[in-house]
Amino acid sequence: MTKPLHIVGGGMAGSEAAWQAAEAGLPVVLHEMRPKVGTFAHQTGNFGEMVCSNSFRSDDDEQNAVGLLHWEMRQAGSLVMASADKHRLPAGGALAVDREAFAQEITDHLRAHPLISVSDEEVTELPSEGQWIFATGPLTSPALAQAIQAETGAESLAFFDAIAPIVHAHSIDMDVAWRQSRYDKGETEDERTAYINCPMTKDQYEAFIDALLAAETTPFREGEAAGYFDGCLPIEVMAERGRETLRFGPMKPIGLTNAHKPDEKAYAVVQLRRDNALGTLYNIVGFQTKMKYGAQKAVFQTIPGLQEAEFARLGGIHRNSFLNSPRLLDGALRLRSRPNIRFAGQVTGVEGYVESASMGLLAGRLAVAEAQGQELPAVPAETAIGALVTHITGGADAKTFQPMNVNFGLFPPLEDVRGGRRGRKERYKGYTDRAKQAWTNWLEQKVKEPA
Ligand SMILES: Cc1cc2nc3c(=O)[nH]c(=O)nc-3n(C[C@H](O)[C@H](O)[C@H](O)COP(=O)(O)OP(=O)(O)OC[C@H]3O[C@@H](n4cnc5c(N)ncnc54)[C@H](O)[C@@H]3O)c2cc1C
């Protein structure tokens, strides 16, 4: 009988890995500690729970690297992508999902699969027998983190992101705010009006920045003072970096026209994105924060349109555990010191739901080939998945390694294309065309016998 593949963690990466392996005929034991043992961010016992934003970001597979990642995963029969597509919400050019329906869909599929069995125990050791994938995420349980540190020589690091607050839609003043996606992007009216926008004058913006800078924040606990990941900075930290930083970041006013005052250009705009299928909840886009709860309410209620805002969830800080993968993992995501163990997902130092799921997809497929005594050829670095895995397992400098979103900067440069802003559109199309061809070829390739 084929020995089962053990997968630890039923989040984005573990769920996708389990699906890929089981669909290829390999029995899987999926170990997920929730709901018996919780984390501070997860709220259910479901697989594939989204812990913060409900967005998979851009779905543009021609001009955007994460959109390309969506495409590659769909081609590979991804459960995460199929579930996201099924429970998609209008969000302009982005792929936003109804988080509860999405996680339920994944849970139902995994639990119903004849080759998948579920263990609801926390795993606290790195086993020396059998084939394992650890996809325990940014909130890897402390006991397991300790075991990993014991094996790797304390090379797993920790840093903090912050959660954006969620507002009840009914409490937003629509006499001030209006619905519009930036540049009216989207195919349907629903998509073109997916966001709620709150405009600010210069005086209101300046007062808001003053309030942010004065707000009380949650202090770091001892030993927590690792650096933030630049893609997920708390707004008060952005404001500290410069009074204009937010106006050129999440509060940029471009591509938006105030429906109530079309002739008046807003100095800054706060955007809220739909958070559930019912349209009753909206999250404040890019407003991760570590302000104290009381301060958050006071500061956010100075935003025009949110003066009476009721919050379904306030922001908070969170931990992110990730390995020094360039040093610890080989190109097939195996722990160099214990090749029966693979890692996948955010714990490998990729950042984001889709990136994590894509590493699960790859780990699942690699494990299947290995169980069959075969070896998959390396994924071409020209693809989004290949670019990510190449980066984390060697492309990045181990000394300065930080979590990474997928982006075209990770792709091998194209020759004979125009550089700079002017050539951007053509260049991005070149990257995505090349990637699609390479990914299609990789998926069709036969596995090779190990050397
Ligand atoms: C508070 C917070 C907010 C975030 N916000 C965003 C966001 O807005 N957008 C975004 O793209 N990404 C966000 N992230 C990152 C996000 O967590 C990842 O993108 C994604 O969930 C990672 O997928 P994963 O499968 O690696 O980990 P997870 O989805 O976290 O799954 C890991 C699973 O492993 C389980 N587990 C942990 N330890 C053990 C153990 N010892 N035994 C058994 N099971 C275990 C956990 O219960 C969990 O279900 C956020 C992370 C946090 C913590």
Each residue's pLDDT tens digit, 342-397? 999 999 999 899 999 999 999 999 999 999 999 899 999 999 999 999 989 988 77
CA angle 359, 365, 370 (to 5 degrees): 120
Average pLDDT over residues 44-72: 96
Which pLDDT value is given to residue 414?
Answer: 87
Residues in a beta bridge with 134 = 8, 343
Same domain, 9 and 53: yes
Average pLDDT over residues 208-230: 71
Among 318, 344, 373, the domain boundary falls at 318
**Contact, 347 vs 133, CB < 8 A?**
no
- Relative to the CA of 355, which ligand 1 atom is closest? 19
Residue 450 resides in a domain: no
Is residue 300 scored above 90 in pLDDT?
Answer: yes
Question: Separation of 252 CA from ligand 1 center, angstroms?
Answer: 29
Residue 259 resides in a domain: yes
Residue nearest to atom 31 of ligand 1 (CA): 11
Which pLDDT value is given to residue 276?
Answer: 74
CA distances from 235 to 79, 196, 322, 402, 428 (A): 34, 19, 23, 20, 29
Mutational test site, ligand 1, from 55, 119, 353, 359, max ligand atoms within 8 Å of CB = 353
C-alpha radius of gyration, the chain, whole number: 22
Is residue 234 scored above 80 in pLDDT?
Answer: yes
CA distances from 254 to 81, 105, 199 (A): 30, 37, 11
**Binding residue numbers:** 9-14
Residue 363 in tokens: 């780990």
- Measured from the Cβ of residue 413, the count of other Cβ atoms closer than 10 Å reads 11
Residue 451 resides in a domain: no
Give the dihedral of Cα atoms 210, 212, 217, 220; nearest 10 deg.
-100
Query: pLDDT tens across 269-281, in order?
Result: 999 998 777 777 7
Which segment of 96-100, 188-192, 196-200, 226-230 scores lowest on mean pLDDT? 226-230
Is residue 191 scored above 80 in pLDDT?
Answer: yes
Q: What is the CATH number of the domain that holds 389?
A: 3.50.50.60
SS3 at position 288: coil
Same domain, 371 and 439: yes
- Relative to the CA of 31, which ligand 1 atom is closest? 43
Question: Separation of 52 CA from ligand 1 center, angstroms?
Answer: 10
Q: Which domain holds residue 61?
A: 5-156+323-444
Residue with structure tokens 């006991």?
A: 143
Question: Separation of 51 CA from ligand 1 center, angstroms?
Answer: 7
Same domain, 122 and 207: no
- Relative to the CA of 164, which ligand 1 atom is closest? 8
Nearest-angstrom CA–CA distance, 26 and 364? 10
Which pLDDT value is given to residue 225?
Answer: 43
Is residue 9 scored above 50 in pLDDT?
Answer: yes
Nearest Cα to 106, choosing from 41, 14, 26?
A: 14
Among 275, 301, 318, the domain boundary falls at 318
Query: Which stretches of 185-275 are DSSP H helices?
Result: 189-192, 202-214, 235-241
**Binding residue numbers for FAD:** 9-14
Between 68 and 160, whose confidence is greater? 68
Nearest-angstrom CA–CA distance, 103 and 189? 27
- Relative to the CA of 34, which ligand 1 atom is closest? 47
Average pLDDT over residues 129-151: 93
Same domain, 290 and 408: no
Which pLDDT value is given to residue 1?
Answer: 57
User: For 97, which DSSP code?
Assistant: E
Among 271, 300, 318, the domain boundary falls at 318
pLDDT band at 18 (very low <50, low <70, confident <90, very high): very high
Q: Is 242 exposed, middle or buried (0-12, 13-18, 19+ CB in 10 A)?
A: exposed
Question: Separation of 314 CA from ligand 1 center, angstroms?
Answer: 19
The mean pLDDT of the chain is 90
Residue 425 resides in a domain: yes
Question: Separation of 13 CA from ligand 1 center, angstroms?
Answer: 9
Q: What is the CATH number of the domain that holds 245?
A: 2.40.30.260
CA angle 229, 362, 6 (to 5 degrees): 100
Residue 232 resides in a domain: yes
Cα maximum dimension of the chain: 72
Same domain, 308 and 407: no
pLDDT band at 318 (very low <50, low <70, confident <90, very high): low
**Contact, 277 vs 89, CB < 8 A?**
yes
Measured in degrees and rounded to the nearest 5, phi and psi for residue 152 equal: -95, -5
Q: Is 190 exposed, middle or buried (0-12, 13-18, 19+ CB in 10 A)?
A: middle
- Relative to the CA of 359, which ligand 1 atom is closest? 26
Nearest Cα to 46, choosing from 22, 27, 30?
A: 30
Same domain, 208 and 246: yes
pLDDT band at 38 (very low <50, low <70, confident <90, very high): very high
Which pLDDT value is given to residue 83?
Answer: 98
Question: Separation of 66 CA from ligand 1 center, angstroms?
Answer: 18
Same domain, 121 and 212: no
Which pLDDT value is given to residue 224?
Answer: 43
Residue 394 in tokens: 């060697």
Residue nearest to atom 23 of ligand 1 (CA): 12
CA distances from 265 to 181, 197, 306, 360 (A): 16, 13, 19, 45
Residue 388 resides in a domain: yes
Same domain, 182 and 313: yes
- The HSE-up count of residue 237 (CA atoms within 13 Å, CB side) is 19
Q: How many domains does one find in the chain?
A: 2
Mutational test site, ligand 1, from 33, 42, 284, max ligand atoms within 8 Å of CB = 33
Same domain, 307 and 166: yes
Sheet holding 178-179, edge to edge: 178-179, 195-200, 268-274, 281-284, 166-168, 311-313
Nearest-angstrom CA–CA distance, 363 and 332? 8
Same domain, 214 and 341: no
Same domain, 371 and 294: no
**Which DSSP helix (H) or strand (E) runs through 313?**
strand 311-313
Same domain, 344 and 428: yes
Residue 307 resides in a domain: yes
Is residue 112 scored above 70 in pLDDT?
Answer: yes
Which pLDDT value is given to residue 314?
Answer: 86
Residue 449 resides in a domain: no
Kindly list the protein residues whose Cβ atom lies closer than 6 A to any atom of ligand 1: 8-14, 31-34, 39, 41-42, 51-53, 122-123, 135-141, 144, 161, 163, 318, 345-347, 352-353, 356
Question: Separation of 140 CA from ligand 1 center, angstroms?
Answer: 8
Is residue 336 scored above 90 in pLDDT?
Answer: yes
